[in-house]
Amino acid sequence: MLSLLVHLFLANYSAGAPIMHNGFIYAKIYGGFEKIQSSICDLVVVARLLNATLVIPEIQATTRAKGISPKFKSFSYLYDEEHFIAALSDDVAIVRGLSKDLREARKRIKFPTVSPKNSATPEYYRTEVLPRLVKSKVIGIIVNGGNCLQSVLPASLEELQRLRCRVAYHALKFRPQIQALGNQIVGRLRASGRPYMAYHPGLLRDTLAFHGCAELFQVGILLQALGYPPNTIIFLAGSETFGGQRMLIPLRAMYANLVDRTSLCSQRELSDLLGPEGPLASDSPHPPPPKSEKDLIEEWKRAGPRPRPLPPPPARPFYAHEKEGWYGWIGENDTEPDPSPIEFRRQAHRLIWDALDYIVSVEADAFFPGFHNDGSGWPDYSSLIMGHRLYQTPSAITYRPDRKIVAALFENVSDHRYHPPRNWTIAARAHLNKSANVEGVVSSAILSKPVSFLYHPLPECSCRTAKSVSVQPVKDSHGRLLFGGEEECPDSVVRSLATVSTKNNEPQNEDYEGELPEDDSSPDMQQESDSKSSEQDEEMDPDD
């Protein structure tokens, strides 16, 4: 039923940008990729709400970085500025920067700045920000948490929700080099004629700091329960995986075709995205210089009277890899030191890697999130991907597992996780298949939509054709629509759908298998696998 949903966002479906404006809004955005993506959408809506001109937002992860390529400046490090301005020209006035006199006044701190709390209401901007904007003509907004505007807006502001979708899915295009390499990765994954799955583990620093550790092999067990064969192509998304490649050993043992951008792209292709960069001093630890024989003799003479007790044995030396990364200070200092210049550069690089993986994950035939909806109220990477997939290709397979149910399943089979009984496999498969259907979409919307509108952009950003089968609307406890109840599509959209439908009905190459799971094993191997499976199913108690 989700496949009946279509987009309302054509170029002419806009209320039009106001002719007069109340002033300029400039913004600083702190945080990673997911916070940047969400914040930009909110800032455009705030500018429209306040009838203001938006200055291209400043991405602090790039402005603070030293030694990155001078070819790109803040926003253009990730996105296509020209497309962003042109795509929203009918909605919001956007400029690249303030005029010279206003820039000078900003340097002298002549303009007020505000730092809205997470999920600030429209009323806050009307009563607190708008008067200061009208008075000073310029105001700065500092965004830290990723959500500077309330996710669920009143029904009277439904057009602003559609504007959010226009920004996220049409105006925010990555710069051409990133988009081109992302499309190449998708092509390489599908070069064998087989579908692929994207998986984001979610093993990030902030996540693990508050929620403890996660074991990647559990995802492999869940995929086995769903029936995915060992030769399934799995793309590992995300710029950061806590623990590095060693954390992937159990999952790679189950699924050998586990790949990421580094295995699909050459080092030259990845470095070309970064552009020419200046040299920076390495932050890798260096061993102390060896002492000369003269220094050792002098130290022996100053050691005091003899005989004396033997000194304690030397401590185990710290290896270089133990001090690399953000956790290198643990065990040496009580507080985290300021990031080094090269660490700032790595943070900027992670934005590009996240953008690449975002493209590949949205286009994947199936997507499985490892950790999302952590309850922090901040945007998370997996949920943004699931919202984009729901908007762009709602019929694609997107799993939305409930971690409480999954945790209970693993507790029930803690002693035999690698060889679970048949009833456990059936229960796990039923839950995961349900999470990929309409029921999973609705249950996920109840948890995720209050956090960020982009996690579940329905029904505001969709419509139904006149021939569509009517669906019973589903509402939350506050009476807000979660699924169904979409408006009827405009005639222009219906005509466009008819054209697309005609093209899709043309004969195509049937060699491509577009369904997951898929198994290319030989008949003998399949027979052996079936016999093992039947033996396993008959085992009611592995200890017997």
CA pair distance 57, 235, nearest whole angstrom: 31
Tokens of residue 525, six digits: 């191997």
Least confident of 96-110, 300-314, 351-365, 451-465: 300-314
What is the per-residue pLDDT for 50?
Answer: 96
**Are 516 and 366 contacting, i.e. CB atoms less than 8 angstroms apart?**
yes
What is the per-residue pLDDT for 123?
Answer: 96
- pLDDT category, 509, cuts 50, 70, 90? very low
Is residue 77 a part of any domain in this protein? yes
* Over residues 223-231, mean pLDDT: 94
271 vs 371 pLDDT, higher one: 271
Tokens of residue 148, six digits: 């500077």
17 exposure class (CB count in 10 Å sphere: 0-12, 13-18, 19+) = middle
Is residue 120 a part of any domain in this protein? yes
Residue type, 325: G
Is residue 536 a part of any domain in this protein? no
**Are 139 and 429 contacting, i.e. CB atoms less than 8 angstroms apart?**
no
168 vs 477 pLDDT, higher one: 168
CA pair distance 119, 150, nearest whole angstrom: 4
Question: Among candidates 364, 366, 362, 367, which has minimal Cα distance to 392?
Answer: 362
Most confident option among 238-252, 300-314, 353-367, 398-412: 353-367
398 vs 276 pLDDT, higher one: 398
Which domain range does residue 28 map to? 2-176
411 exposure class (CB count in 10 Å sphere: 0-12, 13-18, 19+) = exposed
Residue 158 CB contacts under 8 Å (≥ 6 apart), including other chains: 460
29 vs 341 pLDDT, higher one: 29
CA torsion 457→60→32→88, rounded to 10°?
A: 20
DSSP run (H or E) holding 297: helix 293-301
What is the per-residue pLDDT for 1?
Answer: 40
CA pair distance 220, 201, nearest whole angstrom: 11
- pLDDT of 524 > 80? The answer is no
Per residue in 403-427, pLDDT (tens digit) is 889 889 988 887 777 788 999 999 9
- pLDDT of 525 > 60? The answer is no
Tokens of residue 15, six digits: 């209320």
Rounded to 10°, the helix 403-412/422-435 angle is: 170
The string of DSSP codes covering 328-378 is: TTBTTBSSPPPPPHHHHHHHHHHHHHHHHHHHHHHT-SEEEESS---SSSS
Per residue in 106-135, pLDDT (tens digit) is 999 999 999 999 889 999 999 999 999 999
Is residue 466 a part of any domain in this protein? no
How does the average pLDDT of the chain come out, rounded?
A: 81
- pLDDT category, 310, cuts 50, 70, 90? confident
CA pair distance 154, 157, nearest whole angstrom: 6
What is the per-residue pLDDT for 522?
Answer: 42
Q: CATH number, domain at 75?
A: 3.40.50
Per residue in 444-458, pLDDT (tens digit) is 888 888 888 898 898
129 exposure class (CB count in 10 Å sphere: 0-12, 13-18, 19+) = buried
CA pair distance 216, 160, nearest whole angstrom: 39
Rounded to 10°, the helix 403-412/217-226 angle is: 90
114 vs 370 pLDDT, higher one: 114
What share of the chain in percent tops pLDDT 90?
45
- pLDDT of 313 > 90? The answer is no
Coil, strand, or helix at residue 133? Answer: helix
- pLDDT category, 215, cuts 50, 70, 90? low
217 vs 25 pLDDT, higher one: 25
Residue 240 CB contacts under 8 Å (≥ 6 apart), including other chains: 203, 204, 205, 350
Most confident option among 63-77, 255-269, 518-532: 255-269
| Total structural domains within the chain | 1
Is residue 419 a part of any domain in this protein? no
Per residue in 49-87, pLDDT (tens digit) is 999 999 999 999 888 777 788 788 889 999 999 999 999
How far out from the chain centre does Cα 324 lie? 24
Tokens of residue 182, six digits: 């992302």
Least confident of 21-25, 319-323, 515-519: 515-519
**Are 163 and 460 contacting, i.e. CB atoms less than 8 angstroms apart?**
no
**Are 377 and 118 contacting, i.e. CB atoms less than 8 angstroms apart?**
yes
